[in-house]
Amino acid sequence: MTTRRDFLKRALTGTAIVGAGGTAPLLTQARETHKVPDGALGLLYDATLCVGCKACVAACKEANDNPPEFNTVDHLWDTPLDTSGYTFNIIKMYRNGTMETKDAETNGYAFMKVSCLHCADPSCVSACPVSAMTKDPDTGIVAYDPGKCIGCRYCVAACPFGIPKYQFDDPFGRIAKCELCRHRHADGHYSACAEVCPTGATLFGHTSDLLAEAKRRLELKPGSITTYPRGRLRHAQEKRLAGAPEGKGRMERKGWREEPDQSYEGVVGNYQQRVYGEKEYGGTQVLKLSGVPFEKVGMPALPPYSSAATSETIQHTLYGGLLMPIAVLGALSWVAKRNIANVGPDDDEGGDES
């Protein structure tokens, strides 16, 4: 007979099981937000140096074999309005009032580069169920493998910067995003956007060096004169090998292509005293400087910890080593086995007529 007491007893057993499981989270370590790797490569974008020529947008298209996107009547020029399935990099413009002064918040205008920031702890990598989105342990480049991608677009949803995009118009559509031109690294080329930037507004290099350079600029007096490098910022120890071509086995690279020194003297801008990407989501490998507050130029305010860390802490607390699921399964099997004896399985022979 199933009595109320019997029911309560079972219920309590169940509660005890859940209770025992409930204490497990306390024993599990929370997953910390990952840090930028030592050999991290990235970009420094200095909005005060950008003249909005969009040479980087064109070079990016060429380097990544992307078609032009038309948004004007004449269909003559590549005019993407945002990053998309066919545009990995774009320069956006901020305008206010009379637009008289560059890099002024009121009555001014400013530029902002939009492309993948190569997060220290990327949401897209954590989200991807099939490891199509991966972060290189050495260079930290967040790379995409269309051969694995199932097109679920979880990465598109997850990215706080709205970077991964999907080619919705193509039955074989891929995810599209900047990979820092890693396919060109083997030949000694670096990110095309930085290679062509005429003012050094986009600079390629090691994130640690780029951060030091950004901080150097923040300490300068606005209006004073300083030297700005162009293209690639030389690494403090110019010896690191970086980047590996797609596929297995890392191909050792001799180094970046030799270039003449392209640095020049320029006027120091009126910076916001903050390096965007130094702390956001645990840091990003692409860093930004701006004269206009970052929130105004479309860079979201983000906490210093990543949501990937929160998500993975929850997942691994519940499912780490499959301990909890197996324990719960064991308990459920035991209870179910006992109760089947009373109830009968889903079996019509267990009824009144047998």
When binding is defined by CB under 8 A, the residue of 40, 116, 132, 143 that contacts other proteins is 132
User: Considering the rule CB under 8 A, would residue 170 count as an interface residue with other proteins?
Assistant: yes
Stretch that binds other proteins, among 44-52, 144-152, 209-217, 218-226 (CB under 8 A): 144-152
What residues between 249 and 278 interact with other proteins by CB under 8 A? none
User: Considering the rule CB under 8 A, would residue 344 count as an interface residue with other proteins?
Assistant: yes
Which one, 222 or 303, has the nearer CB to other proteins? Answer: 303
What residues between 320 and 339 interact with other proteins by CB under 8 A? 325, 328-329, 332-333, 335-339
Instruction: Provide the token pair at 317.
Output: 């607390």
Which one, 144 or 271, has the nearer CB to other proteins? Answer: 144
Distance, in Å, from the CA atom of 163 to the CA atom of 340, rounded to the nearest integer, reads 52
As a residue count, the chain comes to 354
When binding is defined by CB under 8 A, the residue of 36, 40, 158, 275 that contacts other proteins is 158
What residues between 71 and 90 interact with other proteins by CB under 8 A? 82, 84-85
Q: How far is the CB of 290 from other proteins (least distance, A)?
A: 18
Q: How far is the CB of 220 from other proteins (least distance, A)?
A: 32
Q: What are phi and psi of 42, to 5 degrees?
A: -170, -160
Rounded to 10°, the helix 4-27/307-319 angle is: 130
Pairing of strands 225-228, 264-267: antiparallel
267 neighbors 224 (Cβ within 8 angstroms):
yes
Distance, in Å, from the CA atom of 115 to the CA atom of 190, rounded to the nearest integer, reads 15
User: Considering the rule CB under 8 A, would residue 352 count as an interface residue with other proteins?
Assistant: yes
Q: How far is the CB of 215 from other proteins (least distance, A)?
A: 27
Stretch that binds other proteins, among 52-60, 72-80, 156-164, 198-206 (CB under 8 A): 156-164
Which one, 135 or 184, has the nearer CB to other proteins? Answer: 135
**DSSP assigned state of 204:** E
User: Considering the rule CB under 8 A, would residue 351 count as an interface residue with other proteins?
Assistant: yes
Q: How far is the CB of 264 from other proteins (least distance, A)?
A: 35
* CA angle at 188 for the pair 182 and 189, rounded to the nearest 5°: 60
Q: How far is the CB of 78 from other proteins (least distance, A)?
A: 18
Q: Which residue in 191, 246, 205, 243 sits closest to 59, CA to CA?
A: 191
Which one, 4 or 254, has the nearer CB to other proteins? Answer: 4
Distance, in Å, from the CA atom of 110 to the CA atom of 346, rounded to the nearest integer, reads 69
When binding is defined by CB under 8 A, the residue of 160, 269, 282, 291 that contacts other proteins is 160
Distance, in Å, from the CA atom of 344 to the CA atom of 337, rounded to the nearest integer, reads 10
When binding is defined by CB under 8 A, the residue of 172, 223, 239, 252 that contacts other proteins is 172
Q: What is the DSSP string of 293-306?
A: -GGGGTPPP--SS-
Intra-chain end-to-end CA distance of the chain, in Å: 19
What residues between 8 and 27 interact with other proteins by CB under 8 A? 10-11, 14
Which three-class secondary structure state does DSSP give residue 156?
helix
When binding is defined by CB under 8 A, the residue of 34, 113, 135, 165 that contacts other proteins is 165
User: Considering the rule CB under 8 A, would residue 225 count as an interface residue with other proteins?
Assistant: no
What residue type is 353 in one-letter code?
A: E
Q: How far is the CB of 338 from other proteins (least distance, A)?
A: 8
Return left, alpha or beta for 78; rule: phi > 0 is left, psi -120 to 50 is alpha, else beta.
Answer: beta
Instruction: Provide the token pair at 60.
Output: 């990016």
Q: How far is the CB of 226 from other proteins (least distance, A)?
A: 34
